[in-house]
Structure formats: structure tokens, C-alpha cells
Amino acid sequence: MELDDQQLVLACKQGNSDAFSLLVQRYQRRIFNLVYRMVQNYDEASEITQDAFLAAWQGLPAFRGDARFATWLYRIAYNCALRQLESRKRDTALHAALQAEAEHAYDVDDSQAITDKTLDAHERQEMVQEYLAHLPSKYRSVLILRHHLEMSYEEMAEILKMPVGTIKTHLFRARNLLKERLQGLYRDVSTETRG
């Protein structure tokens, strides 16, 4: 019989690392994906996932079970990823400024390019993911949690430690931002499907 999270957490609190190993197996892919979508680097995502699970193991004695274990774990991973993004920003302030300029140029070029050619569904999805990677982290994180990890507003609010109202606002702005950037592309698809 498969043990549920609560039973495994209880066993972990008594020092049973095999129980924690099962939890790692259960969540490593989703945690890795959350982190990877945030930091956009495979190796860094692997490191941060390890850090997150280690922090979870160390923090388990203090875990009171007010939230679900999964929510708590996602929050730890999200904070680890955010910390990495912040330190990356601090370390490479100049590089980031240059990159922002480059991105701006890329945005302009690309939005022009996508109006010039028709993309198939797969290419369009890739482009959306590409744009997603360049959104500010607060918008990127809500979209990742909602669309990639299929979380409810309430779960997202718990993980990001924000009121549900703020989650709605961030989602609204994030999608609008994406929609504005991809407007040309979607119009093409629209006229094509009608024509």
C-alpha cells in the first residue's frame, strides 16, 4: 500500500531517511520543472532542486502541517529559485542591463518577424515559452504555477505568500503582457482560420 505524504512526513520527522527518499522520488520532477522554468538553466535547476530538498529535510522538524507538504515544498523551491535569480541579478548587473537592451531589440525584431510568417502550433508554443522566459519573475512564476503545474489560485497564494487578489492581478498582467507581445501572431492565426 502506498503511503500518503502525511505518513511519510511523520516518518521523516522520526529520522527515517527512506521515507524522505520516497518523497523525493514523488516530487523531484515537478520541483525540478518549477525551478527550471524559473531559472532557465538545466544545471542550475539541478543544483537548486538539491538545495530545496536539503532545506526541506532540515526544516521538517519545524513543519507543523498547517499547509500541505507539497505546497510547503513548492514554496521552499520557489524561494531557492528566487534567491538564485536575485544573486544572479546582483552579480551581473551590468550584464543584465546589456541583456535587457538586447532583449528589447530581440522583442522588436521578433514581433516584426512573427507577423511576417505563419507559424505552426508547435512553433507558436515554443515562441510563447520563449517569451515566458523573458517576463519579470513575479509574472513568470504565476504563469508557471498556473499553467505548467496546474495549481489553483489558493495554492499559488500559499506558495507565493500573497493574497489571492494579488495572484489574480499578477496573472491578469502577465497574460496581458504575453498577449500584447504575441498579438500579431494570434491575429495571423485568427485570419487564417477564418479564411
Partner 1 sequence: MRCTTAGKQLQLYSDGQLPLDAVRSLELHLAGCASCREELRMLEMVARDLDAPALIVEPENLHAQIMQRIAQVAEMQPAQKSFSPWRPSLVELLAAVLLATVATLGSILQQPTLRALLPIANGHDSLSLAFMRLVHMLTSMDSSTLALLLWISGTLLGVCITLACAGTEMRAQWFKAMMDRLPVR
* Minimum CB distance to partner 1, residue 181 (Å): 10
Dump the DSSP string for 73-86.
Answer: HHHHHHHHHHHHHH
* Minimum CB distance to partner 1, residue 101 (Å): 26
Nearer to partner 1 by Cβ, of 53 and 69: the residue is 53
* Minimum CB distance to partner 1, residue 166 (Å): 14
Positions in the binding site for partner 1 (CB under 8 A)? 17, 20-21, 24-25, 28-30, 32-33, 36, 42, 46, 49-50, 53-55, 57-59, 62-63, 76, 79, 83, 124-125, 128-129, 132, 143, 146-148, 153, 168, 171-172, 175, 178-179, 182-183, 186, 189-190
Nearer to partner 1 by Cβ, of 7 and 17: the residue is 17
Helical pair 69-91 and 17-39, crossing angle rounded to 10 deg: 40
Residue 180's alpha-carbon distances to 107, 117, 184, in angstroms, are 11, 18, 8
Q: How many CB atoms lie within 10 A of CB 137?
A: 16
Chain centroid to Cα 89, Å, comes to: 17
